[in-house]
Structure 1
Amino acid sequence: MRISTSSFYEQNVKAMGLQQQNLFRVQQQLSAGTKFLTAGDDPVGAARALGVSESLAESAQYATSRDRANLSLSREETALDSATNILQNIKTLTVQAGNGTLSDADRAALATTIQSNLDQLVGLANSDDGNGQFLFAGYKSASAPFVQQAGGGVQYIGDQGQRLMQVDVARQMSTGDDGRTVFQSVQGGAGYVTSGSAANTGSGVFGSVGIKDATDPDYGKDFQISFLGGNYTVTTNETPPVVAATGAYTEGSPISFGGLQIGITGTPVDGDSFNVTTAKNAGTDIFASIGALVTALKTPLTGGGAAAQASLQNALSTANVKVTNAHDNVLTVLSSVGSRMSELDSLNSSGASRDLLDKSYLSDIQDLDVTAAISEFYQRQTSLQATQMTFAKLNSIALFNYL
């Protein structure tokens, strides 16, 4: 079989061209460090690599979200930690104010100190994240959530929205707590708060509330203890009120009603009354409670007699319970913040482990074996050079060379 010169030439040039393409492809793989340069080189591998790359990009976004959530929670944690210190300081000052040896001036000085603590607490409640977004405002984070009123007191103008952030595939996390939940709420197990009527003129002073029987049908209701003719009557704060207990008042003897028990000392007069109310119905606004404490401490006792002294002691007892409830509530929220931050750490650890596996899998799919590729490169280069030399040698053969 004879092969024409043109066919011989074309076949050899085509073969060398194919070898050059293969050599160039290996060279590109070495340059890119990947097994396939286009999806057409390995459609299945390219699809798998794309899926893993998308998973890694999504994981990186979750990691960024976790960093932002952790930063926001860290700022809230700092504010709440300072708030607990202030409330603890107010509790200490409240106990100190109960010292019977203090003068009106001494109590006024304590009132000034407590007012300063109250102002600091309001400032903490209006903390922002450094970018003008207020931590405890809910969705209304562009405005300060707590506003001082002209007539005294503090009003919450935020809402109870929870700002959620997607921190993992199936986990949305609240990155803050609204001001009402933090500073104007109490825990469900806060118990009862006792307070004396502002119209009391006797010297009756209440003690702490004890629980005798939590299964009593009236337990959990609000009560009022009224005095008339040396007797007491306990009624529920319902409409219409229901009598829960009656009896002759004996100083120091416990009064039992609705599964509760309370002791009262001193001498209540006709018309005096005391409210024994669940914490959630007794007024949960810590700013209002501290404000009432300041007012009580600023009220002079000089010339007021036993009734004024009793009124002060009752006001201090009520404030102490309310501040304690508020302190416990802030501690509970602080604990929740810590739990969320701990969860973020766990999610970061699991996310890092997942990323490591994904990167290893992606490397197996697309990363080039450099040693094998270099070996292949030299083999193809040697083969091409041999083909070129052979073609040049054969191309120069002619019959005239043998005449």
Structure 2
Amino acid sequence: MRVASSTLYQQGLASMNYQQGALMHIQQQLGTGRSILTPSDDPVGATRALGVSQAQAVNGQYATSRNQANIALAAEENALDSVTTITQNIHTLLVQAGNGTMSDADRGSLATALEGLYNQLLSLANSDDGNGQFLFGGTRSGSAPFTQSAGASTYIGDNGQQLLQVDVARQMPAGNTGREVFMSVTGGAGYVVKGNPANTGTATFGTVSTTDPSHPLYGHALQMSFTANAAGQMEYTITDTSTGATPAPVVAGPVIYNSPAHVDVAGFSFNVTGNPKAGDTLTMQPASEAGTDMFANLQTVIDTLRQPTAADNDRANLGNVLSTAMRQFSNSLDNVLTVRASVGSRMNELDALDDVGTNRDLTYSQTLSGLQDLDYAKAITEYYQRQVALQGAQQSFMQIQGMNLFKYL
């Protein structure tokens, strides 16, 4: 069989090109430290490495979301800490305002001090995170959640929560709405008693205590009405106003009133002292229905403190307003502390998820290392083998090139 010279040249060139290409491939692997330079090097390994890389990138995004959530929650915690202090200061001033030796001017000064706390509270309710995003606006974080007009503050945010995907199966609220913080009470807040500003008598009520939350009427709104019987004695009747029926169904009474009167009804109790007049009323409502807006409750106290107390019924009305406000702000403080506990719990959870995410990222890195990282000992050995093979191909080509009869002429 005759082999053409061109065939010998082509085969020699192809052999050298192949060996040189293989040598360059090993050089690239040594230079990058990777065993897979192209998917064709290891199709299965390349596919697995791609999947692990994507999972690691997603895990990194979870870490970014956790960092954002931590920043938002830390800002909220700082604001809630100040809200707690202001609420405690309000409660202290309310107790001070109940001092019977204070004059109208003294109470006016307290009203001014409370007005300053009102403005501080409103400022905190409109706190932002430093980037123009308001903390308590819900999903409407681009504008201030509370507005003030004609002495009243209105919540214009929404009840939505900004959820961040902080882990594979965990979406976490990055904050709380203004309604949750400043216009809510806890589920166990109990009852709030209120006096009627139109009362002409001097009846005042004391601290409300829960006695039996399992009572069938517990949670119903009630009203205590005073009337004079045929003998001229004052008596009271308690009706259930939550039914909406007219007349409201009677729960207790009529009962002869003697000061102090201990009222135990519907699973809660309180004392009433003073001398009511016929037509006077007291309302008893679950805390969630008795005014949960901290701003409205504080404004009521400020307005009342600025009114003169010339008559006994004025002083009784002031005492009832202060008693109601102290109970309301005690409930508000409990609610703020509950929200703070929720914020702290979420921050602790983020720390735990960070630890899990760090360990997961380490696992991904180890898996990728096993799939992609180069075995240097094996690669260097192959490098020298390819180098010898290239040299052999080159020398073989030189010898074949020398197979020419013309040199013997």
Taking structure 2 as the reference length, what is the TM-score of the superposition? 0.91
Q: Map of 1:234-313 to 2, 5 A cutoff? A: 234-237=238-241, 238=243, 239-240=245-246, 241-246=248-253, 247-301=255-309, 303-304=310-311, 306-313=312-319
Q: In the alignment, does 2:344 pair up with 1:345?
A: no
Name the amino acid aligned to 2:319: Q
Q: Which residue of 2 aligns with 1:106?
A: 106
Task: Report the CA distance between 1:13 and its aligned residue.
Answer: 3.6
Task: Report the CA distance between 1:352 and its aligned residue.
Answer: 1.2
Q: In the alignment, does 2:391 pair up with 1:379?
A: no
- Please give the alpha-carbon distance, in whole angstroms, between the structure 1 residues aligned to 2:10 and 2:290: 101
Task: Report the CA distance between 1:299 and its aligned residue.
Answer: 1.9
Name the amino acid aligned to 1:312: L
Q: In the alignment, does 2:328 pair up with 1:322?
A: yes
- Contact 2:181–2:339 (CA<8 Å) still a contact in 1? yes
Structure 2 runs not aligned, ≥5 long: 229-233
- Please give the alpha-carbon distance, in whole angstroms, between the structure 1 residues aligned to 2:325 and 2:259: 23
The SS at the match of 1:185 is: coil
**Number of equivalenced pairs:** 400
The SS at the match of 2:192 is: strand
Q: In the alignment, does 2:211 pair up with 1:212?
A: yes
The SS at the match of 1:74 is: helix
Spell out, residue by residue over 1:317-361, the C-alpha distance to the aligned partner (whole angstroms, 9 max, x if none).
Answer: 100000111111111111111212222222221111111101110
Q: Which residue of 2 aligns with 1:82?
A: 82
218 and 8 in structure 1: CA distance in 2 versus 1, 3 angstrom threshold: closer
Q: Map of 1:117-156 to 2, 5 A cutoff? A: 117-150=117-150, 152-156=151-155
CA RMSD of aligned residues (A): 2.1
Q: Which moved more, 1:316-325 or 1:98-107?
A: 98-107
Task: Report the CA distance between 1:364 and its aligned residue.
Answer: 0.7
- Please give the alpha-carbon distance, in whole angstroms, between the structure 2 residues aligned to 1:324 and 1:13: 92
Q: Which residue of 1 aligns with 2:231?
A: none
Q: In the alignment, does 2:22 pair up with 1:18?
A: no
Structure 1 runs not aligned, ≥5 long: none
- Contact 2:157–2:178 (CA<8 Å) still a contact in 1? yes
The SS at the match of 1:208 is: coil
Q: Which residue of 2 aligns with 1:168?
A: 167
- Please give the alpha-carbon distance, in whole angstroms, between the structure 1 residues aligned to 2:321 and 2:366: 67
Task: Report the CA distance between 1:162 and its aligned residue.
Answer: 1.4
- Please give the alpha-carbon distance, in whole angstroms, between the structure 1 residues aligned to 2:17 and 2:141: 68
The SS at the match of 1:315 is: helix
Q: Which residue of 1 aligns with 2:394?
A: 388
Task: Report the CA distance between 1:5 and its aligned residue.
Answer: 5.9
The partner residue of 1:365 within 364, 368, 371 is 371
- Please give the alpha-carbon distance, in whole angstroms, between the structure 2 residues aligned to 1:211 and 1:332: 20
The SS at the match of 1:219 is: coil
Q: Which residue of 2 aligns with 1:201?
A: 200
Name the amino acid aligned to 1:242: P
Task: Report the CA distance between 1:59 and its aligned residue.
Answer: 1.2
Taking structure 1 as the reference length, what is the TM-score of the superposition? 0.93
Q: In the alignment, does 2:66 pair up with 1:66?
A: yes
Task: Report the CA distance between 1:387 and its aligned residue.
Answer: 4.0
- Contact 1:245–1:256 (CA<8 Å) still a contact in 2? no
Task: Report the CA distance between 1:178 and its aligned residue.
Answer: 1.4
Q: Which residue of 1 aligns with 2:97?
A: 97
Task: Report the CA distance between 1:307 and its aligned residue.
Answer: 2.0
- Contact 2:184–2:335 (CA<8 Å) still a contact in 1? yes
- Please give the alpha-carbon distance, in whole angstroms, between the structure 1 residues aligned to 2:155 and 2:87: 19
Task: Report the CA distance between 1:108 and its aligned residue.
Answer: 1.4
- Please give the alpha-carbon distance, in whole angstroms, between the structure 1 residues aligned to 2:401 and 2:259: 130
Spell out, residue by residue over 1:78-124, the C-alpha distance to the aligned partner (whole angstroms, 9 max, x if none).
Answer: 11111111101111111121222222222211111111011111111
- Contact 2:191–2:268 (CA<8 Å) still a contact in 1? no
Q: In the alignment, does 2:273 pair up with 1:231?
A: no
Aligned-residue sequence identity (percent) comes to: 51
Name the amino acid aligned to 2:213: A
Spell out, residue by residue over 1:372-391, the C-alpha distance to the aligned partner (whole angstroms, 9 max, x if none).
Answer: 22232123213322443454
The partner residue of 2:339 within 333, 341, 344 is 333
- Contact 1:254–1:264 (CA<8 Å) still a contact in 2? yes
- Contact 2:33–2:373 (CA<8 Å) still a contact in 1? yes
- Please give the alpha-carbon distance, in whole angstroms, between the structure 1 residues aligned to 2:132 and 2:251: 53
- Please give the alpha-carbon distance, in whole angstroms, between the structure 2 residues aligned to 1:136 and 1:8: 83
Q: Which residue of 2 aligns with 1:56?
A: 56
- Please give the alpha-carbon distance, in whole angstroms, between the structure 1 residues aligned to 2:124 and 2:270: 36
